Amino acid sequence: MNQTPVQLVIGPRQCGKSTLLGHLATPSFKEVTFDDLQLRTLANRDPALFFEQFSPPILLDEVQYVPNIFPEIKRYVDRIKKERLISGRLTTVLFRMTGSNQLEMDKSIKESLAGRASYFELNTLTVHEIKRAYSKVSISDVLFKGGWPELYIDEQLSPIHYINDYVRSYVEKDIVLSAGIQKQEAFNIVLALLAARTGMLLDYANVARDSGIQAVTVKDWVSILERTGLVHCLRPFASNLNKRLTKAPKCYFLDTGLAVRLQGWREVAPLITSPQAGALFETLVFSELFKFIENYGKDWNLYLWRTKEGEEIDFIISTARGEVFALDAKMSMQSTQAMKIPPSFKKTFPQVKQITLVTFGGRRLRLSEECEAVPLSDLTEFLMELS
């Protein structure tokens, strides 16, 4: 991490933000969590008095609960920067903070800490991270549980109860309240409909019809879910030269455990053999790609590619160097068949000579001159090779 006075890690609850910063902090960093109602009240009512008792360097957990503290942090940082400018000393990290509600953070931080803070996104665990720590965990289990660290640390925890509690405490409470959503029941219905459609083209009118909510409201709620890091709308590659390309995005949940729970699955076995398994596996592949780009700071753009005639490649990676890579998710439990690059895709991207199939299992294998299979558990290593 670079040496700005304030470093802020943003990500969903329970993804490991405070644990990460706790590992990075030196003994001089005191830790305060604003889940503690008494400390939260003090920091909001009298921030100056709070910092007299808890002076920097300090680690502040869940700072979205204390919006009144940010102007005081600004004043503190500006004073220290002036003192160090006079003395010639280097700026050091004074505040490390975590936040799990991007909506509340946007309200409080943008103006107060502009130019004073570095921001870092933290997601739930990737397949690569889980398999590296727990090699015996199956892809089926990761698909079912998602990337929540606690579910792998404590095997006695029920994924069903754990994620149910997460939905009640974070999604239905924090997000709905901070976004000012009045129709909570309707919001829950839309959330479930989006989970049922993860990995599919997003038709706002279709979701609106099934939920009884106006399409413009559905679009607003999807935007809120994107800002809070629960879903991501993958936009299609756009080319002015090719009018046949679809304009509809695909909506993916960033954690399959949440999508699986919202779909209502209670066991792994029936899920894996269900009609929804393919779209959920594609969601898991997308999540791995998205998190790799975020975690490694890659200057890559990720798109889908689909023509109105139905020709499709799930994922296109476009790099700043002008390279283009094509990947497709294939869940087939049996032998994976080679895929040919669609002719219309070749016309748009003549430099692409290979398509990579990301498979549920198996091993890395050349299937044809223009097609290679890479198991999901090896996807991170494959992406590192592209770098």
Give the model's pLDDT for residue 245. 66
Give the model's pLDDT for residue 99. 85
The answer to whether the beta carbons of residues 259 and 253 sit under 8 Å apart is: yes
Give the model's pLDDT for residue 120. 86
Give the model's pLDDT for residue 45. 95
Give the model's pLDDT for residue 381. 96
What span, in angstroms and rounded, lies between the C-alpha atoms of 185 and 96? Answer: 36
Q: Which amino acid is at 231?
A: V
pTM tops 0.75, yes or no: yes
**Which residues have CB under 8 Å from 173's CB, separation 6+?**
none
Per-residue pLDDT tens for 58-79? Answer: 999 988 889 899 999 988 888 8
What span, in angstroms and rounded, lies between the C-alpha atoms of 148 and 13? Answer: 9
The CATH 3.40.50.300 domain(s) of the chain lie at 6-121
What DSSP string describes 190-215? Answer: HHHHHHHTTTEE--HHHHHHHHTS-H
Per-residue pLDDT tens for 354-364? Answer: 999 999 998 99
Question: Residue-wise over 50-64: b if at least 16 C-beta within 10 A, else e?
Answer: bbeebebebbbbbbb
Give the model's pLDDT for residue 1. 44
Which CATH number fits the domain 6-121, given the four candidates 1.10.760.10, 3.40.50.150, 3.40.50.300, 3.40.50.10190? 3.40.50.300
Q: How far is CA 3 from CA 54, 92, 239, 297, 316, in A?
A: 21, 6, 41, 17, 35
Flag residues of the chain having pLDDT under 70.
1-3, 25-26, 87-91, 107-108, 110-111, 179, 239-245, 333-334
Cis peptide before 67 (omega within 30 of 0): no
